Structure 1
Amino acid sequence: MQSTNQKIKNAILNSFLDKNTFEQNDEYAAKLIANTKDETMYNRILDEVQHCKSFTFAVAFIESGILNSLKTVLKDLNVQGRILTSTYLYFNKPQMFRELLKLPNVEIRVYEQNHGKFHAKGYLFQHEGYQSALVGSSNFTAGALKVNKEWNLLFTSHNNGKLTEDIASEIEEQWKGASKLSPEWIDEYEKKYKIQNKPAIKVVSQSVDEDNSNYSIIKPNKMQKEALKNLQKLRLLRETKGLIISATGTGKTYLAALDVKNYNPKRFLFVAHREQILKKSLDSFHKVLGGDKKTNYGILSGNTKNTDAKYLFATVQTLSKAENLNQFKRDEFDYILIDEAHHVGSKIYGKLLDYFTPDFLLGMTATPERSDDKNIYELFDYNVPYEIRL
C-alpha cells in the first residue's frame, strides 16, 4: 500500500510531468477549478475546510452572504482558521467585517490601504503531513466562488514543499503588517467607508428650466468625463453600438444620463428587467436632463402604461409583448439604452434588438461575462468605449 508521501509524489508527476506514466490520484492531484457544473470553488473550499487541521484565507474582497455557509460549517468543527482581507478600494462593507467577527475559531486581520494595494486571492489548508492550496482569481464572493468563469489552481505538497512554503511565507509577512479586526476598528473604518462611497456625481447648482421644473446641474467625475469622450469618439466613427462595463457604485446611471443629454435624442428608450430599476433610473435621469417629470418621462410596465413620453423607461417583459411592441415604429427611438446588458443574450431581449433600429444602442453592465455560450460583446459589435472594474 502506498504511503501518503508516495501518493502525493505520483499525483504531482501525473499532473505536471506525464499523465500516462504516473498514477492519477484525485485526492492529491493538481487541477484547475473554474466553476463548472461538476466543481465550483465554493464546494471545494467548504470540503477542504471540513477535512483540514487549519486554514488561512488571503482574499481582498469578501461578501457577507457567503460567510453564512462558512459559519455553519465551522460551527460543528474544531478547526482553527485565519482570514487576511483588505480595505482595498473600500469594496468590503462595514457589515461584512462585523460578520467576520462572528466566525468561530477564526482570527481576522485587515491589510490596510496605507500599506499598499492588497489584491491577493489564495486559500491555504494544513492537513496531516501535507498542505493544499488554491490560488487564482476568486475572491470570497458568491459570484467568484459559484458562477463566474474564474481560474484557480489547486495543488498539494509536503510540508517542506518550496511552493507552499513561499505562499505561507508571503502570508506571514502580510499578516504581521495587518491590523487586528475589532469592533473599534470597524467603527473607524465605517467613517472612511462612507466618505469613499459618496455619490458618484457632484451637484454644482440647482436650476429651473423653461418649464419651471427644478433640476440639478451635474458635473461629471473623472471616470465619467473619459467615458463620455470615448462614447462621442465612437459615434464619430459611425459606430451604432457600444457597451459600457462599469462596476456597481461607479455612477453608470448618471453617466448614461449625461451621454443622453449630450446626444439630445428626439426620443429615448431605457430598458431594464425590473420596475424598481426603472423608477430609480428615471429619477437620476431627471436630475440630469430636467424637464417636466410628468410629461417628459414615462414608465411602461405591468403597472403603468405611459407610452408617449420623450424619455420612456420600460421593463423588457412588458415591452416585448406583441401588443405593446407593435405600438412603436421600428425607428421610434433614436437612442436606446439596455441596463444590466448581460441579459441581452436571452430570447426576450432578442425580440427588442431584432425589432428596433435605433441610431445608437448602448448597453451597460458590471458583469459582461456569462456562464452560457452567449457573447455579449458580439451583440454590441465589440465596442467597449469604457471599462472600470473593481
Structure 2
Amino acid sequence: MGDVLRAALREADEVDICVAFLRFSGLGLVVKELEAFTARGGQLRVIVSTYLNVTQPGAVRVLASLSGAQIKLQTGPKGLHTKYYMFGRGRDRRTCWVGSSNFTKSGLFSSIEWNTCHDDPEAVADAEALFTELWERADVILASDEAIWAYERTFLAAQMAAAPPTSIGTGFTAPLPNTAQGEALAQLARLRRDGARRAAVIAATGVGKTLLAAFDAGALACELGRAPDQLSVLFIAHREELLQQACAAYRQLHPAATTGLLVSGQRPGHARVVFATVQSLLGHPELLSRHYDQVVIDEVHHAAAASYRTVLGRLNFHFLLGLTATPERADGHDVLALCDYNVAYEVRLPEAIDHGWLIPFHYFGIADNVDYTPVPWRSGRFDPEALENALLLESRTDLILRHALEKGYDGRRRATVGFCAGVRHARYMAETLGNRGFRAEAITGTVPPAERQRLYDDFADPGHPLEWLFVADVLNEGIDLPAINSLLFLRPTQSPGLFLQQLGRGLRHHPGTEVLTVLDFVGHHKNALVPLQALSRDALRLVGHRHLDSPLQFSPPTDCAVVLEDQTQAILLKVQRELPAAGGKKAHAAAYRLLREELGRPPHLMDFWGRSGVPGFQELRRTFGSWVECRAAMGDADDWERRVERDPLAGALLRAAETNLQLQRVGAYAVAWAMVFFPDDPASGVNAFFVRFPQWRVEQDVEPARALKTLEKKPAWGVLLRDGTLDPALRARLRTDPRLAEEVERRLEYLLAGDHAERHGGVLRTPGALTRYHGYRRSEIVNHLGVQYDPARHNTGAVQVGSDIALLTQLDTRDARAAHQYRNGFLEDRRFFSWESQNRMVPDRGSGQAVADHRRLGHTLHLFAQPGGAGLYFYLGPVDVDQVRGSAPFTAVLKLPERLPATVEEQLLGGG
C-alpha cells in the first residue's frame, strides 16, 4: 500500500486520508512525496485518531506543517478504525482504497494487509460523502498547535504508564539462549570436540555476544565434567562498562560462581571468574600465572595492540573465545590469527535483521551543507581537528534539527544518539540544542565511567527529560541501550565496520519500537558511499520489501528502507562515477589503496580474507598475476620480494602456494606445507601441520603418499616435485631462506581459512529456515539440510540428505562442457519448471526414482535456480513432480508453490 500511496502522490491533485493510526515509521517513508505533492498545490486532507494513544503527536505536527495541508484529529471517546485513501485527478479520475492499512510502517509496507481499490464513480462518491461526514463531526477537530499539545500531554502520560523506568544495568533477563546464541553454542561445542582451543564468534551488535560467553562457560563446564561455579574464567575487555555488563551476565547465569573485577580500585581476590582490562592485568602477574578454563576477549578487534599480545603470550588456558562484530576494523590487525582463523559462528547485521533478531531500520540520506574540500585528508580519513572546525556551524545544526524533527522516531518517547567527530563537536551539539530548548548531553571518553553510567540511566528512563545524547569515542561498542530509537551520523563515516557497530546501538528490540530511524548527513567526499555499501546484503534477494528509493544499486535487509534526497542521490552518483569501474586493475588497485589507508600500513594477505567491500585474493591474483606482483605494482614490495620475483624456482613455489587446488580433503595441503617446513622429512611434518592448524584435526587421518599423488596431478605443484618430494635445489633454498617458507605458509593459510569456513564452519539449520527467493551458496544449502558440507559428496545436481532432496539447477549452461549442458527452465506457464536429470539417471531406481517418485517415498524436493554458471542459487520453494518423460536422462516437470512473480522472473531471466 505504501507503493500505491507514493505513486498516487506523484500524479494526483487531491488526496483524502482517514486512518486510525499515524506514526513516524510510515510517515517518514512518504514525507518526501507529501512535501512535493503539497508544494505543487496538491490538496491534502487527513483525519487521524487519538484512539488508544497510538498516533504520535510529532507525526501529526509534521503533517500539519505541510504547506496547504488540512489535518484533523478525531478526539472523542468513540474508537475510529477507518483506513481510507482517496486519490483524485480531476472530477473524472477518482479512486479510493479501503481496507486495513494504517499510516504506519507495518500498515503501509511490512505487514500482511488487505486493501481493495474502487474506481466506480458511484462507489467513490459514496465513500467521499462518508469522509465528508466524518470531517464535519464535532469530535473531529483541526490539528492546531493547541490541539496537538493537548493530545501530546495525554499521549506522554499514557506512554509513562506503559513503560516504567528502567536501567541498562538490569537488561539481562533471558534465562535461555536466543536462536543466534543457540546456534553459536552448538558450533563452539563441535569445534572443541574436534580439538580446537581457540575460536572467534563474529556477531552483529545486539545479538548478545557477552551473554553468549556466559552461556558457553556453562557448556564448557559440562564438557569438563564440572559444575559451572568451579570453572575458572578470565574475561578481558578494554572499557570498564563492558566488564560491568559482562560480570552481571555471568552472575545471573552462574549465581554460585565467585566473581571479581579488576577495575577502579577493585580487586578480584580469589574469585574464580575474573573481569579485567588488559592494562590492569599487566600489573598483576599473579592473575596472569593462573590456569583458566575459559579466556574471553571481548571486542577482540582491539587485541592487536601490544598490551594484548603481552598478556595473551603469558596466559595458560583450555579455551580462548574472541568476540567481535567487525573483525575488519582498522584496529583489528590480524585479530583472527589470535583465534587460529577459526570462526566458530558468524552472523552479520543484515542477516540478523533478516532473521528478526534485530529490528529493521529506516535510513535517510540527507545532503550535508558542509564543504569538505578544504579539510585535509590523511591516512584514509579527514584531519580530526580540521574536520571538527568545519562541522561547528549553526546552519548545520538548523539542518540537523529540522530533519530530526521531521523524520521523528518510532517509540514511546525520543531517544536519539548523535555520533560526532570529536569531543568539541559533541559538546557543541549538546550546547546548541540546549540553547534551543532541548535537553541534550555530551558523553565522551573524557567523562568518568560513573558519570557516563548516570547519563545512560537517565537517557533510558522514559520519565526523564533527557532525550538527546551526542557522543564521541564512546557507545561505539559494548554498551547496551535498547531505548535508542533514532541515530544521527554527524560526521563522515570512517569505515564500514565502525558504521555498522554504531548502527547496531539502536537495533535491539525494545517495547514500543518497531523500527530504528537513521539520519546520515552525506557530503561529497571519498567515503560517502561507505554507509550504503555497509547496509547492503551480500546475498541479494530477488523479491521483497527492500524500499530502496534510489537509482543507486543497493539491497538493504528485510523490511528496511533507504530514502535519499534528490541532492543526496546526485552527490552519491557523482562519487560513484569517480570510483573505478567494478573489477579490473584500476578498481582492484583502488581497493588496495583504500585498505592500505584504513589499516595505516600495507595490507597483509589475510587482510583480504572474509573482508566485505574488497576483492578476494584470488581476484587480485587474476588481476596482477601473483601477490608479489600485486605488492610491486602498488609500491609495497621490499627487497626480498623484488629478488624472489626474478628467481624462477622460488617464484614458482610462491605461485603454486597461491593456487586454489579446490581439493575435497586437506591432505594435499598438509603434504605441501610439510615439504616446505620439513624438506628432508615431509612425512613426519604432516603431523606438525595439524599442530600448526589445529582446526583441521577433524581431517587428520592423512595418507601422505596418496596426498602426494593428488599434489603431483596439479600442474603448479607437479613441476616442483622430484621423486616424491620438492626439487633438490628448492629444498636447499628453503634451508637457507626461512622467509620463503613463511611466505608459502601465508598463502596456504589464506586458502585453508576459506576451505575450513566452507567445509567445517557452516551453521546447521533445517529446510524450514530457507527463505523463498533468497540466494544461497551450495554449502549453505547443504547446511540447511542439516549436515556439514562435503565437496566430495555434495557436488551433484541432486543432493539428498534424509528425506530432503535439493535440486540445484543452472538456467544457462551454454558455457559448460557438452556433458553438463542440461535443459532446465521455466515453462510458458510460470507455475511449472522443467528439470533434466544427469545423463545416466533413470526414473525407476536409485537417485532418479527418489526424485521422480518423491511423494510415495516421502521425500521433499527443494528447487534452487542459478541464473548463470556461477554465483548464488535462488530458492524457489518446495516443488512437486507433475509428470516424468524419458529415461537416462529423464525430464521432470516440477510444479512450483506459486506462479513465478514478475520481479523474480525479471531477475532470473532478464524478463525473457
> Structure 2-normalised TM-score?
0.25
Higher relative contact order, chain-length normalized (CA < 8 Å, sep 6+): 1
Radius of gyration: which is bigger?
Answer: 2
> Structure 1-normalised TM-score?
0.49
